[in-house]
Every structure is written in structure tokens, then in C-alpha cells.
């Protein structure tokens, strides 16, 4: 029998090792803390420090080696050289070159952390586990408490005959493109999916249908997808099992814009490609060259590569980290990679997106931005200076788009996704 | 820089600040006289710059001029923020701040010339020379052979930040326990007021700029109070360089507020003369401040990236 839930329930978050999932969970954890719960974070090896900065306890999983600090720079430099071109491929060509190897790595991680995760959850004795990941860990189901699945990637992560396949970047009306992608994906994913199913069965979970790496939670599934980009489904994702949050944005500290020597009172444009996306310094330098000729202020998140830049233009400001929600709220346009967190934040604050995707669900969110008319899609590499300048200018200067997005943003903020998520989680505890 | 003619001279503003410091240190109160000759003798200058400095203070409402009695303090000096925020800015100060801002934002190269800076900031040669002299005194630049000035290294990248924390961990706890630490009571009171305001501010209205001001003043106060002059001087120089690298140390408000509480706890121990405890708290404070954010992340990272390295033809 499950022990009685305390008045101050312990909520163990286990987000994947990416800033998008991590910071989305921070938003929900902040709302839970405000409601009197005790959120804690279980961290993948090598991914820690983020949650402590928001005042949450962190627990580290042992069992998989993290990169040493000393070797990391050389490692990432080599990574850029080896894989930059992978991000130049079409979504279909990325299946074999990027998506399948990524799944293989994700399954590696799941296998590696299974035992330490079981031990840690036994020790923590949480009242509920919140999993924000694209893969299921048998240890979570074995913890003996309700578990919540957070779908912080694009809605395409949950397949449906009417929904374009995940990572395809296909539009809803592109039936031929979807069919071709599905066929190629199914052929490529087989071996790694079979390996994952063997791992599940060996650890007490049933096998999943081909291509699926995580099931719906029998307790609660939280969907971040904003209403404005929701897809029609043959099998609706209905409450109470599925709760749509219409965005889920954390509370962040205030943003004070730096002083720009040029265009200091002009509209602000924010650029952030996520932590992986910032590794291509040459690409961002090329973009900065275009920015320098536009009459706007530009903030550019350059991740860990800030020291690689010199002679930054007077209307551009680089940093390795920004309080993103507060910055997006102050921006007139947001250039990003289509990461779900970034896309949701843009909509939440009523800011148009210029999506330049390079992998994973970024392709899907780029398609949604176009279809819903809340932004534009531009290839990550295949653009001319004039095309980038035109796209940025069009988004900044489009008053009608700004008005429509302002309404979307107001609706999303009123929905209070983080509070709704916290209430739904606590309600499942009885 | 526009409005050059209306702006007061740098040395007059500096003298006004020194007069304020003297008023505070000597326990003067509102209504006390500010004798021109006495101040001129104290600061080894003529009465002309003293009069100009007092005029600046009068313009800020800090002093008042009376026909018969000369200048008097209009307010209690302990109520005035000792940062220079309220004093008018000179061209030199504006350019000094702009150079630091632009260097931190990677807009200025490692080496710059006087004429290059004159052109960039649209100011006279003498203004640029004054700024470079001050930057040089603050050990932020050094003269290179020829016409160039070189920026000295600042902790403005991840490696530099790590080295900076190592340096501070070695010296700041030691500065607190070196024999002869001088406690600046009035300054501690002012810092405490500013920090208590920060500690109780909510996340949405937290004044990040005020935090950075109080952070700098707090750590500079420890360097200035240090009984070992060499340690104090090395720390002061380092703190000046840290100010040039503000862009690289953006952290969340939660940590800034936590950091403020750590500052307050250290002030408590310093005022109780429990310097060993203050020193231990400083060590913890610096270790807490060292950023632990992961450098890069992605799905399954770092396992993912190892796997990708094995993909034939992926490059």
C-alpha cells in the first residue's frame, strides 16, 4: 500500500538533459513550491547547477560518465567540425544521420541510469515523479507512486494518423511528404527500437509499438502545446488524462537591457538557438553581419562561445545566458531554432518567431509557425543576407501580426499554465 | 559626447566626492559649515576648485550657499549614497564608462589608439588621454610600444572567471583574517541598508544594477579594510577588472538574492569582530557564486555526442 501523502508532498522532477525541458520543469516546480509542495530535481550526469540557481535541491545520478571540464572545449570543438553538416540536412535525410543515432544515445542513457535511478527514487521516496523526457525509464514506473508525463516537445511527439510525423517538419496538408517520411523512419528506427523494447521487458514494462519510446502516463499527461498551434487528431487527447497547459513559462528575474552605442531606442530582436545551436560560431557571425546593417537592437545568446567573438557591432550585444522569458517579453521578434520552450515563450509573450530549425522538433515547430501564421520559417544555412534582413524586418514591422499575437499572448498568460500544471499534479495525489 | 560645455570638469566632481567622504568620516551633520580654505588645505588644492566642487554639491541639493556664511551641508551626509550616482557625470566619466561597457561587450579590440577612441566617442584628445590615464591607474590598460594601448586581461570568459574565483578564494578569506582589519562602520551601515532592500525585493522587481553596485562596494570594502596592504591592493585591482567583465557573469535573481543574504551574514560577523567566521563565510560565498551551469546540453548529452562521433559520414 502506498504511504499517505504528506501535507507538503515531495515532487521529484526528472527532466531530460536539455535546457528546454529543464526550464519548463522549473516553471512547474515554482508553482508547486508556491502551493506548499517540495519540488526536487533528479539530474542526468553532467547536467546540474541549473535547478540550484532557482533554489531547488538537486540529486545527481551516478552511473554514466560526464565530460571532464578540461577536455570539454576540445571535445565540443571536434563536435562542431564533425557534425555541423548534419544540421544542414533535410529532416528526411537527418533520420539516418541524426535522429536514429540520437535515439540510440537516448536508449544508452536510459539503460545506464536505470539502476541508479531506481536507487535514488527508493531513497527519496517521492509522492509523485514528474518525467519530462522523450523516453520512458522503467525505474519511474517501478517507484510505486503516480508519475506524470510532461510533453514539452512539439505535439507531434504523440503520434496520430492526422498529425504529421515527429521531426518531419511536414505541414498538415503535405500527405505525400508525411507518407514518405513515415516509411523511411520506420525502416531506420527498427533496430534501436527493438533494443529499447528488450530493455523495457527486462525491466518489467511491456513493449511499445514501433517507433514509440514512451507511453502515456496512466495518471496524468501535461501538454505544453499552445492552443493556437494545436493539431486536429483522429484520437483526441482528452481530459482528465491529458491536460493542455496553453504554454508553461517559468517566472524569471527582470531584464534590464544593456546600453547600445547605436539604435539604443530601436526595437529589440532576440536570437537564441539553444545550447547545441550556439556551437556554430561561423553561422552566428554571419547573422551578426546582417544584424549590423539593420536599424534594430539585437541580443544574441552565444552560449559557451562568447569568447570566440570580436568586434561586435554597436547594435548587437552577446551573452552566454539571458533570463529568456523576461527578454522575450521585451522583444519585438524572436529568432530561434524551434525548440518548444522558445516557441511557447514567443507565443506566451505575443512575439513573432523567425524559426531557423536544425534538428528534432524544431522542424515541426517551424511548420506550425507558418501554418498558424505566428511567424516565419527560414532554413538554418540556406539564406541570403537580403532574405534574413527581409524576414527580420517583416516580423518587426508587421503591426497586424503584432496585434494578433498580443491577443494570443494575453490568452496564454491568463491560462496560467504553470499553476494549472501544479494543481493537476497535486490533484492526482488525492 | 554631446553637451560637453555644460558638463562639470572631472577633477571638480572628484573633489566634490572627496568632500562628501570627509563630511561622512568626520561625523558632520546637516547645517555644519564647509569652509573653503579648510577644505583647500585639507586636499592641497587652491580655493578655486573647492568652490567649483561646492557649487556642484549645491546643485545636487547636498550643500547650500549663504551670502555671509558660505557653504553649509544641507543634509546629513550619512543619508547620502556614497556611490557617485547622484553627482553629475563628466565627459571623462562617460567615456570611461563607455570604454568599459564596449570592452565588456567585445566591441573594442585588444589594442586601441587615442585617435581611434577620439573618433569613436567624438571627444577631444585631452578627454581620451584623461580616460586612458585613469584606466592605466586602475590597471585596466597598459601602454604598448607605439601609439597603442592594450587592454589587460579581465575575467570575461569562462576560463577567466574560473581563474578569478581561484584568485579570490586565495585572497578574500585571507584579507578578513589578516591582522589589523579596519572596520568602516558608516560604510557598513550604508551597505547593510542597500542589501536589506535587495534581500526583501521580490523577483519581478529585483534591482540587478543595485545588486552589482552593492556587490562591488562590499568586496572593495573588504580589500580596503584589509590589514595587509599588499593583499588589499591586489584585491582592489582585481575588483576593478571584474567590473569590466560584467557581461560574462549574468546569473539568475535567485542566486543574486541568496548572494545578498551571504553578504549580510558576513557584515554581521565583521561588526561582531568575528573575523574567522566572516572568512569562512566568504569562502562558502565564493564557492556558491562559481557558476555550475552546464556548458552545453542536448537530448541524451553527453552520451548522444559520443554516439554521434561514431557515425560514418556524419561530418
What CATH number does residue B165 fall under? 1.20.120.530
Q: Are A345 and A323 in contact (CB under 8 A)?
A: no
Per the domain annotation, does B304 fall within a domain?
no
Q: Would you give the distance in Å from CA A395 to the centre of its chain?
A: 23
| Range(s) within chain A of domains with CATH label 3.40.50.2000 | 10-249+416-427, 268-414
First to last CA, chain B: 50
Among the listed residues B192, B158, B153, B166, the one whose alpha carbon sits nearest the alpha carbon of residue B270? B192
The pLDDT value given to residue B309: 44
Same domain for B177 and B215: yes
Same domain for B242 and B120: no
Domain boundary residue, one of B55, B86, B117: B86
Number of domains in chain B: 3
Which of A320, A324, A326 should be substituted to probe chain B, the one whose Cβ sees the most B Cβ atoms within 10 Å? A320
Same domain for B143 and B108: yes
Same domain for B97 and B81: no
Same domain for B228 and B211: yes
Q: How far apart are CA A364 and CA A96, in angstroms?
A: 18
Same domain for B169 and B70: no
Q: Are B256 and B206 in contact (CB under 8 A)?
A: yes
pTM, entire model: 0.84
Q: How far apart are CA A331 and CA A96, in angstroms?
A: 37
Q: How far apart are CA B41 and CA B16, in angstroms?
A: 15
The superfamily (CATH) of domain A10-249+416-427 is Glycogen Phosphorylase B; (3.40.50.2000)
- Ranges of residues in chain A with a pLDDT under 50 are 1, 64, 67, 69-70
Q: ipTM greater than 0.90, yes or no?
A: no
The pLDDT value given to residue A2: 52
Per the domain annotation, does B307 fall within a domain?
no
Domain boundary residue, one of B103, B127, B151: B151
The pLDDT tens digits along chain B (315 residues) read: 544 445 777 788 888 888 988 888 788 888 999 999 989 988 889 999 999 899 988 888 889 998 888 899 988 887 776 544 467 678 888 899 899 889 989 999 999 999 999 999 999 999 999 999 999 988 889 999 888 999 988 887 777 888 999 999 999 999 999 999 999 888 899 899 999 999 988 877 888 888 988 999 999 999 999 999 999 999 999 998 887 765 445 677 888 899 999 999 999 999 999 999 999 999 999 998 886 666 555 554 544 454 444 433 322
Domain boundary residue, one of B62, B86, B110: B86
Q: Residue A275 is nearest to which of B102, B159, B296, comparing CB atoms?
A: B296
The pLDDT value given to residue B81: 63
Q: Enter the C-alpha cell of residue A88.
A: 544542414
Same domain for B270 and B193: yes
Same domain for B212 and B236: yes
The pLDDT value given to residue B290: 81
Q: How many CA atoms lie within 13 A of B172 on its CB side?
A: 26
Same domain for B44 and B62: yes
What CATH number does residue B136 fall under? 1.10.10.10
Q: Enter the C-alpha cell of residue A2.
A: 502506498
- The distance of A18 to chain B (nearest Cα, Å) reads 5
Q: How far apart are CA A360 and CA A154, in angstroms?
A: 9
Domain span at residue B80? 4-86
| Residue A129 burial class via C-beta count within 10 angstroms: exposed 0-12, middle 13-18, buried 19 and up | buried
For A68, nearest residue in chain B (alpha carbons): B302
Per the domain annotation, does B298 fall within a domain?
no
Phi, psi at A140, each rounded to 5°: -70, -45
- Percent of chain A past pLDDT 70, that is, above it, reads 93
- The distance of A282 to chain B (nearest Cα, Å) reads 16
Q: Residue B308 is nearest to which of A101, A254, A313, comparing CB atoms?
A: A101
- The distance of A120 to chain B (nearest Cα, Å) reads 19
Beta strand A147-151 pairing with A268-272 = unpaired
Please list the alpha-helical segments (H only) found in A306-384. Answer: 324-329, 340-348, 362-372
Per the domain annotation, does B299 fall within a domain?
no
- Give the domain A268-414 fold: Rossmann fold (3.40.50)
Amino acid at each position: 500500500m502506498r504511504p499517505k501523502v504528506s501535507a507538503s508532498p515531495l515532487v521529484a522532477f526528472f527532466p531530460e538533459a536539455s535546457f528546454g525541458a529543464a526550464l519548463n520543469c522549473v516553471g512547474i516546480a515554482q508553482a508547486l513550491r508556491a502551493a506548499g509542495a517540495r519540488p526536487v530535481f533528479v539530474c542526468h550526469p553532467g547536467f546540474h547547477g541549473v535547478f540550484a540557481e532557482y533554489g531547488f535541491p538537486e540529486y545527481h545520478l551516478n552511473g554514466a560518465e560526464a565530460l571532464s571540464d578540461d577536455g570539454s572545449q576540445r571535445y565540443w570543438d571536434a563536435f562542431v567540425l564533425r557534425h555541423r553538416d548534419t544540421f544542414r540536412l533535410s529532416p528526411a535525410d537527418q533520420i539516418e544521420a541524426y535522429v536514429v543515432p540520437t535515439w540510440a544515445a537516448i536508449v544508452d542513457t536510459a539503460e545506464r541510469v536505470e539502476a541508479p535511478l531506481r536507487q535514488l527514487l527508493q531513497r527519496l521516496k517521492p509522492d509523485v515523479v514528474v518525467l519530462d523526457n522523450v523516453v520512458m525509464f522503467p525505474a519511474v514506473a517501478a517507484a510505486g507512486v503516480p508519475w506524470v508525463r510532461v510533453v514539452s516537445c512539439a505535439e507531434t511527439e504523440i503520434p496520430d494518423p492526422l498529425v504529421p510525423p515527429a521531426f518531419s517538419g511536414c505541414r498538415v496538408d503535405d500527405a505525400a511528404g508525411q507518407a514518405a517520411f513515415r516509411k523511411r523512419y520506420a525502416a531506420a528506427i527498427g533496430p534501436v527500437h527493438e533494443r529499447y523494447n528488450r530493455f523495457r521487458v527486462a525491466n518489467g514494462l511491456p513493449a511499445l509499438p514501433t517507433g514509440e519510446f514512451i507511453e502515456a502516463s496512466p495518471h496524468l499527461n501535461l501538454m505544453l502545446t499552445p492552443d493556437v498551434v494545436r493539431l486536429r487528431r483522429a484520437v483526441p487527447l482528452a481530459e482528465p488524462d491529458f491536460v493542455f497547459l496553453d504554454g508553461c513559462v517559468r517566472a524569471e528575474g527582470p531584464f534590464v537591457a544593456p546600453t547600445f552605442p547605436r539604435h539604443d531606442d530601436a526595437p529589440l530582436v532576440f536570437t537564441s538557438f539553444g545550447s547545441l545551436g550556439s556551437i556554430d560560431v561561423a553561422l552566428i557571425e554571419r547573422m551578426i553581419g546582417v544584424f549590423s546593417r539593420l536599424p534594430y537592437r539585437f541580443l544574441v545568446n552565444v552560449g559557451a562561445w562568447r569568447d570566440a567573438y570580436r568586434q561586435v557591432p554597436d547594435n548587437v550585444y552577446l551573452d552566454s545566458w539571458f533570463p529568456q522569458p523576461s527578454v522575450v517579453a521585451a522583444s519585438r521578434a524572436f529568432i530561434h531554432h524551434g525548440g518548444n520552450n522558445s516557441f511557447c515563450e514567443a507565443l506566451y509573450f505575443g512575439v513573432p518567431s523567425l524559426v531557423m530549425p536544425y534538428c528534432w522538433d524544431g522542424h515541426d515547430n517551424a511548420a506550425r509557425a507558418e501554418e498558424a501564421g505566428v511567424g516565419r520559417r527560414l532554413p538554418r544555412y540556406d539564406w541570403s543576407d537580403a532574405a534574413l534582413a527581409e524576414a527580420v524586418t517583416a516580423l518587426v514591422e508587421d503591426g497586424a501580426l503584432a496585434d494578433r499575437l498580443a491577443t494570443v499572448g494575453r490568452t496564454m498568460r491568463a491560462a496560467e499554465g504553470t499553476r494549472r500544471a501544479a494543481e493537476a499534479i497535486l490533484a492526482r495525489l488525492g | 559626447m554631446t553637451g560637453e560645455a555644460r558638463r562639470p570638469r572631472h577633477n571638480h566632481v572628484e573633489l566634490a566626492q572627496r568632500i562628501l567622504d570627509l563630511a561622512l568620516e568626520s561625523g558632520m551633520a546637516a547645517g555644519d559649515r564647509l569652509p573653503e580654505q579648510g577644505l583647500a588645505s585639507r586636499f592641497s588644492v587652491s580655493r578655486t576648485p573647492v568652490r567649483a566642487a561646492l557649487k556642484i554639491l549645491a546643485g545636487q541639493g547636498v550643500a547650500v550657499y549663504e551670502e555671509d556664511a558660505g557653504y553649509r551641508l544641507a543634509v546629513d551626509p550619512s543619508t547620502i549614497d556614497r556611490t557617485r550616482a547622484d553627482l553629475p557625470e563628466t565627459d571623462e566619466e562617460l567615456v570611461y564608462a563607455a570604454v568599459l561597457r564596449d570592452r565588456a561587450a567585445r566591441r573594442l579590440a585588444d589594442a586601441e589608439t587615442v585617435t581611434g577612441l577620439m573618433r569613436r566617442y567624438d571627444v577631444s584628445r585631452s578627454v581620451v588621454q584623461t580616460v586612458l590615464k585613469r584606466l592605466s591607474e586602475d590597471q585596466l590598460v597598459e601602454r604598448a610600444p607605439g601609439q597603442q594601448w592594450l587592454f589587460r586581461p579581465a575575467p570575461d570568459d569562462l576560463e577567466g572567471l574560473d581563474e578569478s574565483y581561484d584568485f579570490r578564494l586565495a585572497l578574500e578569506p585571507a584579507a578578513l583574517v589578516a591582522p589589523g582589519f579596519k572596520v568602516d562602520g558608516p560604510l557598513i551601515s550604508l551597505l547593510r541598508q542597500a542589501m536589506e532592500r535587495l534581500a526583501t525585493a521580490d523577483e519581478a522587481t529585483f534591482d540587478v544594477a543595485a545588486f552589482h553596485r552593492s556587490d562591488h562596494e562590499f568586496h572593495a570594502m573588504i580589500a580596503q579594510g584589509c590589514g595587509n596592504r599588499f593583499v588589499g591592493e591586489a584585491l582592489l585591482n582585481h575588483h576593478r577588472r571584474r567590473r569590466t567583465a560584467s557581461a560574462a557573469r549574468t546569473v539568475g535573481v535567485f542566486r543574486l538574492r541568496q548572494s545578498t543574504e551571504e553578504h549580510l551574514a558576513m557584515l554581521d560577523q565583521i561588526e561582531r569582530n568575528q573575523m574567522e567566521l566572516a572568512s569562512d563565510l566568504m569562502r562558502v560565498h565564493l564557492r556558491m557564486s562559481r557558476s555550475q551551469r552546464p556548458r552545453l546540453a542536448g537530448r541524451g548529452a553527453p552520451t548522444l555526442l559520443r554516439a554521434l562521433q561514431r557515425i560514418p559520414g556524419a561530418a
